[in-house]
Amino acid sequence: MSLLKQDDRITAETFLEGIWRDNPVFVMLLGMCPVLAVTNSAVNALAMGVATTFVLLASSVLVSLFRKLIPKEVRIATYIVIIATFVTIVDYVIQAISLDLYNALGAFIQLIVANCMILGRAESFASRNTPMKSVVNGLGMGLGFTLALLCLGVVREILGNGSLFGLPLFGDGFQPWIVMVLPPGGFIVLGGWLLFFEWLKVRKQELSGDEEAVHGS
Amino acid sequence: MEVNSISFIFFNAFLANNFVLALFLGLCPFLGVSGKLETAVPMGLATTFVMLVSSVCAYAINQVLVTFDIEYLRLISYIAVIASAVQLVEMAMKKLSPALFRALGIFLPLITTNCAILGLALFQTFKEYNFIQSVVYALGAGAGFILAIVLMAGLRERLELAKLPSVTQGAALSLILGGVLSLAFMGFAGLGA
């Protein structure tokens, strides 16, 4: 019993792993389609991030609440139906709030259903943990996802449009790199970010390696 | 060409609006299974088959939903149909070719969350294609998916032999390659709508 309690504890790690160590986009490469498709401006990226986070949170709670009732054989189908329900809600809510945003995001709101990050979380976390813990973890994951989308959206909007959140940054002389807001830009910017993180990791390893060498001698 | 002619729909989905490289659909298998040609080709074929089945089913379901005026159930019923079609392919493949079944591993059930398939079903509904147009659209999208994943697998097989700095190994380079491929495919943009 005491062991089980230990498992149910919510630590800072539960929240933080989604933001940095297991970032769904930069580390696990999950849910790539919306990451590349809707990040041609920072506003779209933010809206997509928030919508995905909501679906992730709501479906985590429901999956976690019913985790002991769902038969193992049909669990994936059940998760998908739960997720699809919340996506339908988000779809209608966004349509009601801002039609411009709805048109800009297009089919990608409905395609949140097929975001493998959400199904992955339901399968590997929410179905094994208490609702409270799943919410904390889902919040971290959602935040990590939103931040990653923003990282891409900001770079692509600045380079491709010369603006940020719709506000122009440069003078009239700025020649926008149109390719950045087109599909190839998405691939290239994400590739660039991944290179950057890989470089950071290698550098960190080298630094800690040097320290060990110093201590060793 | 007529916007709704059969050949236009096919080439639009195949090249000009390639599902992977222009619409960003189905990126998970595109990045995940494109390491080797031997797995890329069957993956492409399996995805195309599921696309075809779900396109036909989605067309039928949409007719029913429109008749009863319950379009808000569209998303849920589409994804349920896709999940069952994937299950069907999985069972068939397990029976016909167990080796292939093992090689594809986790990516086979993951076809369910391949947004290219759900995207296809949704787009054909938005575009109000009739039955034949839907089937052709599915075939074009499937062919486009196979083309993209096979090109990528070929490139990555060659890359394994190249000398690269350690930082660039892994997903980063695949994405930049995808970017270059996508740039090349922009050349077809003039064909599309």
pLDDT value of residue A214: 53
Tell if the CB–CB gap between B75 and A113 is shorter than 8 Å. yes
Please state, in angstroms and rounded to a whole number, the distance separating the CA atoms of residues A133 and A135: 5
Tell if the CB–CB gap between B83 and A80 is shorter than 8 Å. yes
Over residues B160-188, mean pLDDT = 82
Residue B39 pLDDT greater than 60, yes or no = yes
Instruction: Choose, out of B86, B113, B126, B159, the residue to mutate when testing the contact with A (most A CBs < 10 Å).
Output: B113
pLDDT value of residue A38: 84
Residue A166 pLDDT greater than 80, yes or no = no
Please state, in angstroms and rounded to a whole number, the distance separating the CA atoms of residues B82 and B115: 11
pLDDT > 70: percent of chain B: 94
pLDDT value of residue A217: 41
φ/ψ (deg, to 5) at B51:
-60, -45
pLDDT > 90: percent of chain A: 19
Q: CB contact, 8 Å: A39 with chain B?
A: no
Tell if the CB–CB gap between A191 and B170 is shorter than 8 Å. no
Over residues A143-167, mean pLDDT = 87
Taking CB atoms and an 8 Å cutoff, what residues of chain B touch A202?
166-167
- Our CA dihedral for A64, A143, A105, A187, rounded to 10 degrees, sits at -110
Taking CB atoms and an 8 Å cutoff, what residues of chain A touch B113?
114-116, 119
Buried/exposed code over B34-46 (b: 16+ C-beta within 10 A; e: otherwise): beeeebbebbbeb
φ/ψ (deg, to 5) at A38:
-105, 10
- For the stretch A92-132, pLDDT in tens is 999 998 888 888 887 888 888 888 888 888 888 888 888 88
Instruction: Choose, out of B167, B174, B185, the residue to mutate when testing the contact with A (most A CBs < 10 Å).
Output: B167
pLDDT value of residue B40: 87
CA angle B182, A24, A165 (to 5 degrees): 65
Give the closest residue to A156 by CA, choosing from A195, A196, A115, A187. A187
Average pLDDT, chain B: 84
Residue A18 pLDDT greater than 50, yes or no = yes
pLDDT value of residue A216: 45
Taking CB atoms and an 8 Å cutoff, what residues of chain A touch B86?
none
Taking CB atoms and an 8 Å cutoff, what residues of chain B touch A76?
83, 109, 112
Confidence category of residue A212, pLDDT binned at 50, 70, 90: low
Give the closest residue to A37 by CA, choosing from A23, A54, A52. A52
Over residues A178-198, mean pLDDT = 87
Is-contact A7 A134, C-beta < 8 A?
no
Q: CB contact, 8 Å: A185 with chain B?
A: yes
Please state, in angstroms and rounded to a whole number, the distance separating the CA atoms of residues A119 and B82: 15
Kindly tell me the number of DSSP H helices and DSSP E strands found in chain B.
8, 0
A-B Cβ pairs (cutoff 8 Å, strict)? 120
Residue B146 pLDDT greater than 80, yes or no = yes
Please state, in angstroms and rounded to a whole number, the distance separating the CA atoms of residues A59 and A85: 9
Q: CB contact, 8 Å: B155 with chain A?
A: no
Residue labelled with tokens 């990050």: A117
pLDDT value of residue A106: 79
Confidence category of residue A20, pLDDT binned at 50, 70, 90: confident
pLDDT value of residue A57: 93
Give Rg (Cα) of chain A. 20
Residue B152 pLDDT greater than 80, yes or no = yes
- For the stretch B105-140, pLDDT in tens is 767 777 777 888 888 998 999 888 899 999 999 999
Is-contact A146 A20, C-beta < 8 A?
no
Tell if the CB–CB gap between B83 and A198 is shorter than 8 Å. no
**What region does B163 belong to: left with phi over 0, alpha with psi -120 to 50, or beta?**
beta
In chain A, at which residue ranges do the beta strands (DSSP E only) sit? Answer: 163-164, 167-168
Average pLDDT, chain A: 83
CB atoms within 10 A of CB B109: 15
B157: Cβ–Cβ under 8 A, 6 or more apart, which residues? B35, B36, B37
